[in-house]
Amino acid sequence: MTSAAPAIVALDPRRYRRQRVIDRLVAFVLGLCALVVVLPVLGMIGYLVLQGGRLVDWGS
Amino acid sequence: MPRKGMLEGGIMPCIVGTMVLVTGTMLVALPLGVFGAVYLTEYARPSVLTRLIRLSIVNLAGVPSVVFGLFGLGVFVLLCRFQASILSGALTLALLVLPLVITATEEALRTVPLSFREASMALGATRWQTIRKVILPNAMPGILTGAILSLSRAAGETAPILLTVAAFYLPELPKKLSDQVMTLSYHLYIISTQVPGAPDRVQWGTAFVLLALVLGANSVAIALRMSLRRRRKW
């Protein structure tokens, strides 16, 4: 889906550029928020399976 | 306040502790979940990264809650040195409810008709303006319902807070984020299994309050959804 914003603010290129920068910045921040979900999964695999072994007393 | 090792007195610290913990959880999980869902629904194109995120959501939803507790103990309590505190517990619970919030928000965003997006963009709004002023307000009933259902889930969980925040007997109210708290679910577990001779009324009373809290939250969710849906013009 393409926005009509470029056509409508064509008379004000500076405003269009600013809006485009804001849009990209927002997309980046939202992407980071979505990426947060990956961290616990990787963390669980990494920390619990690999590092967690150290915390457990496996006995003799 | 509880007295004599929880054999007498009330459960005020448990109620306050549960509310504080759930509030902290929602403060972390709600923005992350909603923003993540907005990214996945409105911005993300099919790619390896998007598939990885979706796979993580599915996996995270399937992890048993006690594993979240162990993860919270390992990462927040020991690695980040937050100790057993409200912060550790809230972060652990936030990870637990994050898939729920994301899935509910995604569903809510998908119910907004495509024509709304097209109309907004045809009027010259940017993608972010469309999301902020058209999509999110129209998806709000669904998002709020998901949020409150997640809140109920967080309030009822015992295993994740067992190792990260819950105190066995702490007859005072929490003052800062680094404090431990008593919670209703953990109190119920302890009083039923670890305190010999605990009067039945304490167990049943705690169970009743927990149930009332969860049902109350769910009722608020339903009422809110109905009220917001009634305001819809489409």
Q: Residue B189: exposed, middle, or buried by beta-carbon count in 10 A (0-12, 13-18, 19+)?
A: middle
Check residue B181 and give its pLDDT. Answer: 87
Please report the residues numbered 19 through 58 in chain A whose beta carbons come closer than 8 angstroms to any beta carbon of chain B.
Answer: 19-20, 22-23, 26-27, 29-31, 33-38, 40-41, 43-44, 47-48, 51-52, 55
Check residue B116 and give its pLDDT. Answer: 92
> Are B121 and A26 in contact (CB < 8 Å)?
no
Instruction: Supply the ipTM of this predicted assembly.
Output: 0.78
For residue B67, what are its two tokens?
A: 């594993």
CATH number for the domain whose boundaries are B12-230? 1.10.3720.10
pLDDT digits (tens, 9 = 90+) for B52-84: 999 999 988 898 999 899 889 888 988 888 888
Strand partners, B8: B3
Positive or negative, the Cα torsion across B211, B214, B220, B223?
Answer: negative
Positive or negative, the Cα torsion across B207, B212, B217, B219?
Answer: positive
> Are B126 and A55 in contact (CB < 8 Å)?
no
Strand partners, B71: none
Torsion of CA B19, B24, B28, B31, to 10 degrees: 60
Q: What is the mean pLDDT of each run of 10 residues along chain B (234 residues)?
A: 71 89 93 93 90 91 90 88 90 93 94 91 87 92 88 88 84 84 88 81 88 88 83 73
> Are A38 and B118 in contact (CB < 8 Å)?
no
Strand partners, B9: B2
For chain B, list the strands marked E by DSSP. Answer: 2-3, 8-9
CA–CA min distance A58, chain B (Å): 17
Q: DSSP state, B44?
A: P
pLDDT digits (tens, 9 = 90+) for A6-60: 666 666 778 778 888 898 999 999 999 989 888 888 888 887 777 667 767 777 5
Tell me the count of A-B CB pairs closer than 8 A: 98
In a domain, A38, yes or no: yes
> Are B39 and A31 in contact (CB < 8 Å)?
yes
In a domain, A57, yes or no: no
Check residue B83 and give its pLDDT. Answer: 85
Range of the domain at A44: 5-52
Check residue A11 and give its pLDDT. Answer: 66
Domain segments of chain B as ranges = 12-230
Nearest to B2 by CA among B137, B190, B145: B190
For residue B113, what are its two tokens?
A: 């008709």
**Overall number of domains in chain A:** 1
